[in-house]
Structure 1
């Protein structure tokens, strides 16, 4: 085998590994389902597949509950995220700081009712988005109702949350019961604060829905395994 043939084979191997690693990296495990009632599915381009207790949730994944359905997801940093009936969220972006915490994680709450209980990550790691609001979480419990043109955020425990419209009008929630209501109508965003929550997350929708548990195995895993950047041939492509 001459050197040109060797270089061609090595580069072909590297290209194949890179192509295989791309979709595999998208399967980084970021949490698991702790509670599942009735219809809870992951949504993919090819359709939907059911989620059962103990199943992984992965980066860039969309999770949806059906009518009379609910689920509680436990993230790798032991954040607990509950979804009520007819709710949809997307785990939009995740960057691990270490095996037990995130440096950066973004969650999109498309529609429905949610309860968010913070875990071990830095207070600035989580960025929660709805259709009309962005929500920062600082060590607390939040109930969030995302509807068409309206988001309601209720602070349920000690801690704080900064709630902003998409035009950067912001309110600080600092006491249990503090509530922000954001609406979008007639091309205009409005945000109002009160101390009387107009709504609360329905913990009775499923047994254990509002409990909190630690993530059993917080080490992020990737399925299937992907190339870690090492070169098993001892050669670099193109050299």
Structure 2
């Protein structure tokens, strides 16, 4: 009788482990590199500290708390997202299916701070399945490397902390396929046609497309972990983070 009970307990434990394994989500990617600290949280779960090699998942919100923190996420389709200091980004959706292109999708929402995004196979399969958004813009990307800066400040609204967006920069940095980048705001559509073009966006004001300044080039080169060939060296200053 005791042996039968022991067998039943083992079977129940195996079943519980199998159910837990089946319910474990597939990682969207991993932390490819890290300087300082980065935290990830899903829904109401407490934040978990990330390390190099840590998995990240769809629905994660990733934060770099201080001015010294940087992270680089590498997704399973080969795309990557570099996250600068004092930044916050939500990995809203991610799926990559090499056999069924209709199932592949990627949705990233940048809240504050600085970012560099390099597209991967999701875009190659179907560009419409990639969505990059910020508080003031929706960015259409087709096989490119882009830089983004969302400048914010913390304010109090009715006694409660609130984040105010001051301005955004969205820059086309590299495009091996010669593709354009679109930046859609409430005030209209801007098109970045060549590397070095940047969209300047402000709340409730018309945006504009102009070349990156030398200072902006240097600043975008400062926050990244992995330097690209278009980044000036050595950089002299850095963009501020999200500002709060």
Paired residues of 1:76 and 1:100 also in contact (CA < 8 A): no
Query: Which residue among 123, 131, 149 is the counterpart of 1:145?
Result: 149
- Counterpart residue number, 1:220: none
Q: How does 1:83-102 map to 2 (within 5 A)?
A: 83-98=83-98
Paired residues of 2:137 and 2:183 also in contact (CA < 8 A): yes
- Counterpart residue number, 2:133: 129
- Secondary structure class of the residue paired with 1:54: coil
Q: RCO greater where, 1 or 2, for CA within 8 Å and sep 6 or more? A: 1
Number of matched pairs = 188
In the alignment, the residues of structure 2 paired with residue 202 and residue 129 of structure 1 have an alpha-carbon distance, to the nearest angstrom, of 19
- Counterpart residue number, 1:112: 113
Change (3 A) 1:125 1:24: same
In the alignment, the residues of structure 1 paired with residue 117 and residue 167 of structure 2 have an alpha-carbon distance, to the nearest angstrom, of 18
Query: Which residue among 24, 33, 36 is the counterpart of 2:34?
Result: 36
RMSD: 2.8
Q: Deviations over 1:112-156 (max 9, x none)?
A: 000011112233332111110000111111010012142101111
Greater helix share, structure number: 2
Q: How does 1:44-59 map to 2 (within 5 A)?
A: 44=42, 45-59=44-58
In the alignment, the residues of structure 1 paired with residue 27 and residue 100 of structure 2 have an alpha-carbon distance, to the nearest angstrom, of 12
CA deviation after TM superposition for structure 1 residue 95, in Å: 3.5
TM-score (norm 2): 0.68
TM-score (norm 1): 0.70
Q: How does 1:59-208 map to 2 (within 5 A)?
A: 59-67=58-66, 68-98=68-98, 103-121=104-122, 122=124, 123-147=127-151, 148-158=165-175, 159-165=179-185, 167=186, 169-184=188-203, 188-197=204-213, 199-200=216-217, 202-205=220-223, 208=225
Paired residues of 1:36 and 1:53 also in contact (CA < 8 A): yes
- Secondary structure class of the residue paired with 1:199: helix
Q: Deviations over 1:151-170 (max 9, x none)?
A: 101111123211110x2611
Paired residues of 2:90 and 2:108 also in contact (CA < 8 A): yes
CA deviation after TM superposition for structure 1 residue 193, in Å: 0.7
- Secondary structure class of the residue paired with 1:124: helix
Change (3 A) 1:129 1:173: same
CA deviation after TM superposition for structure 1 residue 189, in Å: 4.1
In the alignment, the residues of structure 2 paired with residue 88 and residue 126 of structure 1 have an alpha-carbon distance, to the nearest angstrom, of 19
Q: Which runs of 5+ in 2 are unaligned?
A: 1-15, 152-164, 229-244
Paired residues of 2:196 and 2:212 also in contact (CA < 8 A): yes
